[in-house]
């Protein structure tokens, strides 16, 4: 069965439980924002992974789309491509859902992402892993064809983000291989989205903001016949974001100051490669 067929079959299950209607100002705000974006084939929601309010917003968005009857599928950076809840009953418990998605709680706390995932499952909507599996990263690092997957200026910008995102700790010889991993991840997510697209409905990707960037990330690898919108969730004041890289910036309160480079420096002190652990 194709991915699109799985989506259609799962979304139409008559036994799917009804999602309780959202209430309060958060629900009103979510509905108003979505009204400005719909209709759309693909909706990318880029988050800051350590901002708890971002995962709460994602759950609100999925619940709203499910209530409207337009949510086709949910694709995740947080699970590997090939994993899916499409064969699960909507009443499946958290444990069965985590097993189906081969969930890695050490990288992606279920307490943060579980509510959004289970909202889709309860609605009878399939949740699809979309990320590049760790086992394929090494091959991607040596695949020179990935260098041509972005326009030249975008490739250089992505390479610079790899430098700064790794706190300028990477040897220059690793910039190209690490950029290829980033591009391969974006292609993997785009493939999942395009396969899950259903006319008249919305497939949603939950990912880090780097993957959702219109100029550098997943949108670069989606078919041109799909309409795509991007929500950028941002914690704190504008940090010079390129507004045109998204269709909507959804600001949340700033987080406490934190030196993200501390943990990365420890990884470079002799504990393996950071390639699989950095989540742009």
pLDDT at 20: 65
Cβ-based neighbour number of residue 65 at 10 Å: 25
Q: What is the mean pLDDT of the chain?
A: 89
Helix 94-101 to helix 110-122 angle, to the nearest 10 degrees?
A: 100
pLDDT at 178: 97
Q: Tokens 């971002």 label which residue?
A: 54
3-state secondary structure the chain: CCHHHHHHHHHCCCCCCCCCCCCCHHHHHHHHHHHHHCCCCEEEEEECCCCHHHHHHHHHHHHHHHHHCCEEEEEEEEEECCCECCCCCCCCCHHHHHHHHCCCCCCCCHHHHHHHHHHHHHCCCCEEEEECCHHHHHHHHCCHHHHHCCCHHHHHHHHHHHHHHCCCCCCHHHHHHHHHHHHHHHHHHHHHHHHHCCCCCEEEEEEEHHHHCCCCCHHHHCCCCCCEEEEEEEECCCCCCCHHHCCEEEEECCCCCCCCHHHHHHHCCCCCCCCCCCCC
pLDDT at 23: 77
Residues of the chain with pLDDT under 70: 1-21, 238-243, 269-280
**pLDDT above 70 as % of the chain:** 86
pTM for the full predicted model: 0.88
Fold classification of 3-267 (topology level): Rossmann fold (3.40.50)
Tokens of 117: 């995932």
Cβ-based neighbour number of residue 90 at 10 Å: 17
Q: Tokens 């259903």 label which residue?
A: 198
pLDDT at 5: 43
Tokens of 161: 């983000």
pLDDT 10s digits, 151-204: 999 999 999 999 999 999 999 999 999 999 999 999 999 999 999 999 999 999
pLDDT at 266: 77
pLDDT at 258: 79
Would you say the C-alpha torsion 263, 267, 271, 272 has a positive or negative sign? positive
Any idea where the domains of the chain sit in the sequence?
A: 3-267
pLDDT at 12: 43
């Amino acid at each position: 069965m194709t991915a699109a067929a799985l989506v259609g079959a799962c979304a139409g299950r008559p036994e799917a439980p009804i999602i309780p209607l959202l209430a309060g100002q958060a629900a009103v705000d979510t509905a108003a924002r979505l009204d400005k974006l719909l209709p759309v084939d693909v909706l990318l929601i880029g988050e800051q992974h350590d901002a708890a309010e971002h995962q709460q917003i994602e759950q609100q968005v999925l619940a709203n789309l499910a209530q409207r009857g337009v949510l086709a599928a949910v694709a995740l950076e947080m699970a590997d491509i090939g994993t899916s809840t499409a064969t699960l009953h909507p009443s499946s418990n958290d444990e069965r859902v985590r097993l189906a998605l081969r969930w890695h709680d050490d990288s992606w706390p279920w307490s943060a992402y579980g509510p959004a995932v289970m909202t889709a499952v309860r609605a009878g909507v399939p949740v699809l892993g979309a990320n590049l599996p760790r086992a394929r990263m090494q091959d991607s690092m040596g695949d020179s064809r990935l260098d041509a997957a972005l326009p030249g200026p975008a490739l250089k910008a992505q390479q610079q983000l790899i430098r700064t995102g790794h706190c300028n700790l990477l040897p220059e010889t690793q910039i190209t291989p690490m950029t290829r991993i980033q591009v391969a991840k974006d292609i993997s997510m785009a493939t999942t989205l395009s396969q899950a697209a259903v006319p008249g409905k919305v497939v949603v990707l939950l990912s880090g903001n780097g993957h959702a960037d219109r100029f550098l990330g997943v949108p670069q690898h989606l078919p041109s016949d799909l309409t795509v919108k991007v929500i950028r969730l941002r914690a704190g004041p504008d940090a010079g974001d390129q507004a045109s890289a998204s269709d909507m910036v959804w600001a949340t309160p700033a987080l406490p100051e934190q030196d993200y480079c501390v943990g990365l420096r420890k990884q470079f002190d002799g504990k393996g490669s950071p390639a699989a652990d950095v989540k742009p």
